[in-house]
Amino acid sequence: MRALIQRVTRAQVSIEGNVVSSIGKGYAILLGVGANDTEEQADKLWSKISKMRIFEDENGKTNVSLADVAGEVLVVSQFTLYANCKRGNRPSFTEAGAPDEANRLYEYFVELARKDVEHVGTGSFGAMMQVELVNDGPFTIWLDTDTL
């Protein structure tokens, strides 16, 4: 499982021009599910993300967690995080999870987040979405369960 986490002051997802979800201060998470991922990877990934200390404390040090700032989370499915560009100029997505299982694990990950975070927004799995955000810092982190 792969996640691109961006610390944001706000973020939203629109589908066909309509805002379907939005958050304030927190994390915008683009989540990719791999072909061999299981609930174990989702558990591991959310555990790491939920405990990260990437918000600034009173001294300007990144030492404060999402819970400490009562942050919100926006999770958007992003199979393109599994793009393989080794051959040619057109990415291959064969390493991404099959849609049904990827959607199940995406929803599982969202439920994990909802256990810890009061406001969790989502996109719509498989939909063409427009994601807008204000990256705070900017601060962006890439996590892959294969290397955690």
Report, as residue numbers or ranges, the catalytic residues: 80
Q: How many CA atoms lie within 13 A of 114 on its CB side?
A: 10
**What residue type is 28 in one-letter code?**
A
71 vs 101: CA distance, rounded Å: 29
33 vs 13: CA distance, rounded Å: 19
